[in-house]
Amino acid sequence: MARTLYDKIWDAHVVHRYDNGDCVIYIDRHLVQEVSSPQAFGGLLDAKRKLHRPSAALAVPDHNVPTTSDRAERIDDPEAALQLEMLIKNTKSFGMPYITMTDERQGIVHVIGPEQGMTLPGVTLVCGDSHTSTHGALGALAFGIGTSEIEHVLATQCHVMTKSKSMRVAMDGALGMGVTAKDMALEVIATIGTAGGTGHAVEYTGSAVRGLSMEGRMTLCNLTIEAGARTGMVAPDETTFAYIKGRPMAPKGEMWERAVAHWRTLASDPGAVFDTEVKIDAARIAPRVTWGTSPEDSLPITAVVPSPADYKDANKAKAVARALDYMGLTPGTKLSDVKIDRVFIGSCTNSRIEDLRAASAVVKGKKLAAHVSAMVVPGSGLVKKQAEQEGLDRIFIAAGFEWREPGCSMCVGMNPDRLEPGERCAATSNRNFEGRQGKGGRTHLMSPAMAAAAGIAGKLTDVRHMA
């Protein structure tokens, strides 16, 4: 029987099947950060349990870390300081590999996993963070789990769950100028809605997906969770293998050849049946920006702010009215006329070297609008190092951007990088919920190039028209 990529990885990891349909799944890799792990470690201590397989885990601080140069000496938030202190204490006590804040490898957990070669095709990977779907870009089955589940995985290296339904999102056609993986992802979410993928594992296929770099595929899979799905995946191919080869935790020598031979078998079989099929013409996608307080609230930059009256469903119309009130937007306003106060380039969605290159290409030789402040936060110390070797930091600084240390930064608002009430931000992050980047902050999601263009213009703008 023809099987999907998801079927193949699932079947290879089932330890036990219960009569009610639940399965015990073996977990190959486990990424840990400071916010979701303290209670899990505490539970292990109370039960006097050890880690089942410490080498299968890797811990790194990211959510709470400041991104200023003095961060190692100064963490003002006592709760953040405690969580970071507990991560150090717990990883040392349980013998878990840990990347310190001062290590050049430190960064956002979903950046360092693939970067270190911990994320590999065919593995199951979990983390106490919803955007763990990012790792599916390498052909892994990756998903976020809760605190009690973290404890269970640490103790048993297994997870109990029900198999998801399958969805194929096929995107064929050549992307237009200025259109990126971020625009593809926002197009998918706008097409199926934030609940469209609920109960599904999504596999992205088609020529437009195959044409993406690994960074682009990670952006696409990262945002899958915003469509309600548990995970997003792209079957591994030559692009995947070239990205992985030589990374610290990747197979070496004869094991590399054997691994690649296996990885080539993971593609969905011809004739494999998916529960849901979605087709999108990639050639019709335009650079997109969000206008509301949900990732599904996006439109091409050439559009206008919608009106509640545009929606027949009364509940949707009410939600749109609330979103517009929070965002301080008037129906009919051109999106390209919306002024901004801040720019944030970073997050697990768009903080890799390709993202920084795209943004720096837009701002090179230009200056930020006088009323705009902006920061660039690399996804890891290794990304930062490479960007500095390429001179990207100097381009940003010359244009008036702040060049920061790695971390989740303003994406999540759990550290000093926050919006003030009423401030409007062009952001490359993954969520534009009310207060996500700071209480009362207004977030517009877009690609790195679009965010950079907004900073120069002082308003949302079409990067395709930048001189």
- Residue 174 belongs to domain with CATH number: 3.30.499.10
Residue 232: closest CA among 281, 148, 164: 164
Nearest to 211 by CA among 181, 254, 248: 181
7, 13, 19, 20: CA torsion to nearest 10:
-70
Confidence of residue 92 (pLDDT cuts 50, 70, 90): very high
Residues 200 and 130 in one domain: yes
Which of the four pLDDT bands, split at 50, 70 and 90, describes residue 241? very high
Q: What is the pLDDT of residue 357?
A: 98
Q: Of 239, 266, 286, which closes a domain? A: 286
pLDDT at 77: 85
Q: What is the pLDDT of residue 421?
A: 97
Region 192-198: mean pLDDT is 97
**pLDDT at 72 > cutoff 80:** no
CB 235 within 8 A of CB 266: yes
**What does the mean pLDDT of the chain come to?**
97
Can you give the residue range of the structural domain that contains 252? 1-286
Whether the CB-CB separation of 401 and 419 falls below 8 Å is answered with no
Q: What residues contact 56, with CB distance under 8 A and at least 6 apart?
A: 27, 28, 29, 30, 157
- pLDDT per residue over 326-374, tens digit each? 999 999 999 999 999 999 999 999 999 999 999 999 999 999 999 999 9
Confidence of residue 76 (pLDDT cuts 50, 70, 90): confident
Q: Which two tokens stand for residue 394?
A: 């100097």
Task: Look at residue 169 in the predicted model and tell me its pLDDT.
Answer: 98
- What average pLDDT does this structure show over 405-412? 96
- Which of 118-122, 130-134, 409-413, 438-442 is least confident? 409-413
**Do 198 and 87 share a structural domain?**
yes
Q: How confident is the model at residue 73 (pLDDT cuts 50, 70, 90)?
A: confident
Residues 230 and 359 reside in one and the same domain? no
CA distance 382 to 375: 18
CA distance 240 to 244: 6
pLDDT at 217: 98
Cα(364)–Cα(455) distance, integer angstroms: 12
Q: Are residue 319 and residue 351 in the same domain, yes or no? A: yes
Distance CA 229, CA 204 (A): 12
- Rounded to an integer, the average pLDDT of 34-44 is 94
Q: How far apart are CA 98 and CA 106, in angstroms?
A: 9
In the predicted model, what is the mean pLDDT of residues 235-243? 98
Does 75 score more than 90 pLDDT? Answer: no
**Section 163-182 average pLDDT:** 98
pLDDT digits (tens, 9 = 90+) for 283-332: 999 999 999 999 999 999 999 999 999 999 999 999 999 999 999 999 99
Percentage, residues of the chain above pLDDT 70: 100
Domain count along the chain = 2
Q: Are residues 108 and 245 in the same domain?
A: yes
Residue type for position 251: P
- Phi first, then psi: what are they for 168, rounded to 5°? -110, 125
Q: Do 451 and 303 share a structural domain? A: yes
Is residue 65 domain-shared with residue 121, that is, in the same domain?
yes
Claim to verify: residue 242 and residue 185 sit in the same structural domain: yes
Task: Tell me: do 21 and 125 sit in the same domain.
Answer: yes
Distance CA 408, CA 108 (A): 6
User: Among residues 286, 321, 339, which one ends one of the domains?
Assistant: 286
Q: What percent of the chain has pLDDT over 90?
A: 96
Write down the pLDDT at residue 192.
98
Whether residues 78 and 92 share a domain: the answer is yes
- Let me know whether 94 and 39 are in one domain: yes
Query: Cα–Cα distance between 107 and 116 in angstroms, integer?
Result: 11
- Position 257 scores a pLDDT of 98
Question: 59 Cβ partners below 8 Å, 6+ apart?
Answer: 31, 32, 33, 37, 87, 91, 96, 97, 98, 99
pLDDT surpassing 90 at residue 97? yes
- Nearest CA to 431 among 225, 231, 232, 285? 225
Same domain membership, residue 322 and residue 281:
no
Decide if pLDDT at 403 tops 80. Answer: yes
- Count other C-beta atoms under 10 Å from residue 269's C-beta: 14
Which domain-ending residue is among 286, 307, 328?
286
Q: What is the mean pLDDT of residues 186-191?
A: 98
Work out the angle at residue 136's Cα, subtended by the Cα atoms of residues 417 and 66, and round it to the nearest 5 degrees.
15
The average pLDDT across 204-214 equals 98
Residue among 461, 457, 430, 453 at smallest CA distance from 443: 430
